[in-house]
Each structure stands twice: as structure tokens, then as C-alpha cells.
Structure 1
Amino acid sequence: MTMANEIDATQVKALRRFNRFFTRRIGVLDPYLASDLSLTDVRVLYELAHREGLTATVLQRELGLDGGYLSRILKRFEAAGWLLRTPSPKDARQSLLALTEAGHAAFAPLQQKSRDEAAALLAGLAPGQRQELVASMERIESLLGAEGVPAPAPTRTVVLRDPVPGDIGWVVQLHGELYWREYGWNTEFEALVADIAAQFVRKFQPQWEKCWIAELDGRRVGAIFVVRKSATVAQLRMLILSPEARGLGLGARLTDEAIAFARGKGYRRMVLWTNSNLTAARAIYSRRGFVLDKSEPYEGYGQRLVGETWSLRL
């Protein structure tokens, strides 16, 4: 069985559709940058203009080009007076490649043209959309990495912020999708979360209640809520993390923020309700001193479950 047979055909189709859309959108299929050069020609020029100490071997490997094809490109550049070769001090069999002044002069307008076309693409988007586009491209680059190998993990940026319009709906959606996919819970659970979220918005008491939205590298990945159950009791609700954010300590950090908020507001106790099969969340609660007060089997969300009530003295 080949690798292609093991991948979902709809995902393969989606990737190919995106490739066709993107190459068309950035004009790769047109005369590139309105010049007589091919995309590969310009890519080679770019590397030569921005890097020192390049050899043909390194250029061939990093650009994934056929050796004979690259050799013909370099010979054309040399004939045009754009390329200078000098012997490598480390290996006499290799030559160091560098652009001449004429080569830089030929490349400069192409580089500016490329910048102008990229700016024109972005100009049609609102500032927020531009940032979303850039973040999405960075995410694609991070997932695929160089030559299909996952890139080294970059420094992650985590932000816990107040919700803005659209966030609460996203929390409901994430609950519905994750619990259906991972536990088989049906839409009854999504309806429950929607009711809780709607009540939070409609009855929100900012002096006593709070929601945190967790962002990882600019993308929403989690949330947690504290609601007022009584004058002395706070309730922890709707802790959720998307799969990409797991293993980073974000669930614990969100829970710690919620506990600190409740203590700061003078609550004496914090309670929560969960299910026995949610082992990762239960471990977070237990490590922070929550104790299991009551468990009770029930049927809900299309499953047989065990509901649990936990509490923490603040």
C-alpha cells in the first residue's frame, strides 16, 4: 500500500485545489514578474543576491533542482555578465557563486516587482484579515517544514485575554466538535454548552465573573469560565483546549488563573462538575486540591457516563 492510499482522498483533493488556487492567485502561471525569466530563474537569482559563499552543490540541494538544469541556468547568468565564479578556499573542486553588479541590477527591479505584487494582494484585506492570513501561512510553514520535514518548534507565544464578539460562539463550536470526535457525544452536549454560554453572556456580572480565551501564536486554542454560584461559591465551567495546545501546560495555567480570580474576589469555595472519563481535566483539578464530593451514573449525550462534583476550599 502506498502512502497516497493511506491519506484521506478528500484531504488530498483539498490540498491540490489550494495549490491550484494559490499558484493562480500569485501569478506563477503568468510570465513571472512580467519578465523573460522563469520562476526558477528568479528563485536562483534571489538566493545568489541574498547569500554569500554559495556553491552550485548547496544551491542544487536547497532548491531541489536537477543538477543539469541548474548548470544551464548558471551558464546563462554567467553569459549575461550576472554571475561571478571564484575558487572555494575549502574545496578546489567547488566554485563560490556571487552576483556581479550587473546581476544585482537585473535582480533589483524583479525584487521590487515581487514586493509590489505581494502588497497589492494584501491591500484588498482589512488589517485583521492580513494578520489572520500571515498567521495561517506561518502555521502551514510550521506544519510542513522544509522539504516535508517538520520545522523546529519555534518559540510559542501564549496570551490569555478577555473574550471579544465571536469568541463565545467559538467555545461552543469547539466543545461540540471535540467531544463528538473524541468521545462520541451527540448534539445534546453542544446544546448544553450553548445554554451555559448564553447565560454567561446574558447574566454576566463583571465584578464577580470572568472568561479567559487562550491564544497560542495568535490562534484561539482554549477557554475557561468562572461564574458566580452564590455570594461565597464560585463555579468553574467549560475548561477546553484544542488538541494542538495540549501538553503545553495551558490547561493548568487557565485553571490557576480561575482559582486566583476566585480567591481575589473573596469566594470561599469553588465547585465544578465534570465526567469520570475526562482524565486530563480531572488530573488538573486534583493536583490543585479539588476533592471529589459526589459521583453519579447517568445517561446523556448518547452515552453512559458518570458525572462528578468536585470542590476546592479557597
Structure 2
Amino acid sequence: MSVQEIRSFNRFYTNLIGALDYSRHLYAPYTLTESRVLYELAHSVRTDAVDLRTELSLDAGYLSRILARFEEDGLVARAPSERDPPRRHVSLTARGRQAADLLDERSREAVGALLGGVGADERERLVAAMGVVRDILGKRRPPEGAGVLLREPGAGELGWIVQRNGAVYASEFGWNAEYEGLVARIVADFAQDHDPHVERVWIAELDGRPVGCVMCVRDEVPGVARLRLLLVEPDARGLGIGDRLVRAVVRFARGVGYREVVLWTNDVLASARGIYERHGFVLVEEKAHRSFGVDLVGQDWRLALGDE
């Protein structure tokens, strides 16, 4: 199977389940990540905070804030772990289990609706095909981040950022040259005038080639950093590279004294938004606009920085 066929399937499946993943009705009044935490608490035998963070690939501070909110709302109880006292054991209260059961019921109903027009024989084929995919990719997938190096851009790689942003977003979302022009201006501004002490670009390298990038630059508001141009090549996704790039920005921004990191994205970039949410970014504003030749909904996200 070619890379293009796999990418085509990814786009098909993402579109198919997108409404389920981001439906406000399905997860309300919780975010998708909060719902995942509730689900894990209800179904996993490992419920130490460390286990939750590892299982869900969540930033420690973000998970701590989620659990604090749940505890305040009476959904969870936290206590020293019996197997390892320095750890914190997390368990659902009766109210928390009711919330998890409700989310589980909604999820079953949503999947049931998705399968409503699928016959019994076709369902068996579907489940079998899913098993094949999980079996093959589950065995062959390399460890998250294996072989990935984050580094500063080399000669010519600022140009690579422009070219790949233009090509990837044109291929996946139909954005026109207006977007590539925007990226070119952002990169040119950085190349011509940036303070290396508080602004930086990262290139993610895998097997000797660049496969991702991100920038941290000064915002117009003093003390605020702006995350820009997060990109991971389609054939390098699923290895945690986007998470590593965003984590690098957050740690750098915190280390050089920024008090906040902000970013602007669009609602169609579902994978990137999931990464931002996992690292604690909060959606603060949405606004419809027409840019890059298509109708979009722009989003502003913010992350307040403090001690880790």
C-alpha cells in the first residue's frame, strides 16, 4: 500500500469520526481530554496519577489541573498510593462514576448511530479489518520519539519550512498560495530580526531528514510568546513528534521568562488542536473568516506559564 493510499484513508476516517470526537453534546460539560481521563479512571486498573499521565501522554501540569477540578467537583478522590506512597492514587467517587457512565453511554449511542446502516456481515468484516490494522501497526510501530532529534535549522531549512507548509496544507486542506505567502513573511521576519535568547526555531529530524518544525517568537504583548508554524510531515505522524515540538516551545518559553504562550490556528487542524489541549492550552476565542481560498474558523489559544 502506498503512502498516498494511507493518507487518503486517514483523511476519510478523520472526516468520518470528526463529529464524534469534537461534538459538544457528546462530551459536555467536559473537554475531550477530560472525558478521556474519566474513561481511563473508570476502566483501567492502574489509576496512579503517573500511570494516567503515561497512558494518556498528558503534560503533568495539565493533568494535575484536570484532577484538581474533578476533585473540587466531587468526581474523584486522591490519596497516597498503597503500592508506592509517594505517588497519588486517583479513584472515582460515586458521582464521578455516574459522569463516566453517562459519557460511556453517549459514546456507545454515537458509535451505534455510525453503524446503524451497516449490516451484520459487514460489521464482522469491519471489526476483522480493524483487528488486522491494529495487529500490523501495533507490532511495527517504533517507540514514540525513537530516532527523532530536535535541533536548530541548518542552512536552507528556513526555506524548507516555507515550502513544506505550502505543500502540505495545499494537499490536505486545499489552501492556496496565500498561506505560503504568510509563512514566507513569518520566516523572513524571523531570519532578518530575532533575538536568539528569547526566540527560537526547532527542526525535528528523523533518519537524517527534516520531518517537522515549530517556532517560538515574541508576541506584540510584552512577556508573551507566540507559538507558530507547527508542522509534522504526514509520513512521520503518530510518533509523538508534534507533542515533542510543542513541549519544547513551552519549556523554552518558561525557561526564558515568558508568562504566557499564545497561538492562532484553525478548527480544521484537529490533530494540532488535540496536541495544544494536551499541553494545557485553553481556547479563548473563535472567529469565522475566509483565508487561503477557503472558509475557516480561526481560534486563539492561550497557556499561562508557571512552575512545572
TM-score with structure 2 length normalisation? 0.52
> Could you say which residue in structure 2 is the equivalent of 1:225?
215
**Match runs of 1:144-163 below 5 Å:** 156-163=146-153
Contact 1:157–1:218 (8 Å) recurs in 2: no
> Could you say which residue in structure 2 is the equivalent of 1:245?
236
**Match runs of 1:1-314 below 5 Å:** 156-229=146-219, 230-314=221-305
Cα deviation, residue 153, structure 1: 6.4
- Write the deviation string for residues 164-218 of structure 1: whole angstroms up to 9, x where unpaired: 1111100000100000000000000000000001001111110110110000111
Distance in 2 of aligned mates of 1:173 and 1:228: 23
- Write the deviation string for residues 268-314 of structure 1: whole angstroms up to 9, x where unpaired: 01100000110000000011111111110011111000011110000
Distance in 1 of aligned mates of 2:157 and 2:149: 14
What's the secondary structure of 2:183's corresponding residue? helix
CA 1:202–1:157: 2 relative to 1, 3 Å = same
What's the secondary structure of 1:285's corresponding residue? helix
Structure 2 residues not aligned, in runs of 5+: 6-136
Distance in 2 of aligned mates of 1:289 and 1:252: 12
RMSD of aligned Cα (Å): 2.2
Cα deviation, residue 244, structure 1: 1.4
What's the secondary structure of 1:172's corresponding residue? helix
- Write the deviation string for residues 105-153 of structure 1: whole angstroms up to 9, x where unpaired: xxxxxxxxxxxxxxxxxxxxxxxxxxxxxxxxxxxxxxxxxxxxx9x66
What's the secondary structure of 2:296's corresponding residue? strand
> Could you say which residue in structure 2 is the equivalent of 1:71?
none
What's the secondary structure of 1:195's corresponding residue? helix
Contact 1:214–1:221 (8 Å) recurs in 2: yes
Amino-acid identity (%): 49
Q: Structure 1 counterpart of 2:229, which letter?
A: M
Q: Structure 2 counterpart of 1:192, which letter?
A: L
Contact 1:223–1:240 (8 Å) recurs in 2: yes
Distance in 2 of aligned mates of 1:284 and 1:206: 26
What's the secondary structure of 2:239's corresponding residue? coil
What's the secondary structure of 1:266's corresponding residue? coil
Cα deviation, residue 231, structure 1: 3.1
Q: Structure 1 counterpart of 2:188, which letter?
A: A
> Could you say which residue in structure 1 is the equivalent of 2:108?
none
Structure 1 residues not aligned, in runs of 5+: 8-149
What's the secondary structure of 1:258's corresponding residue? helix
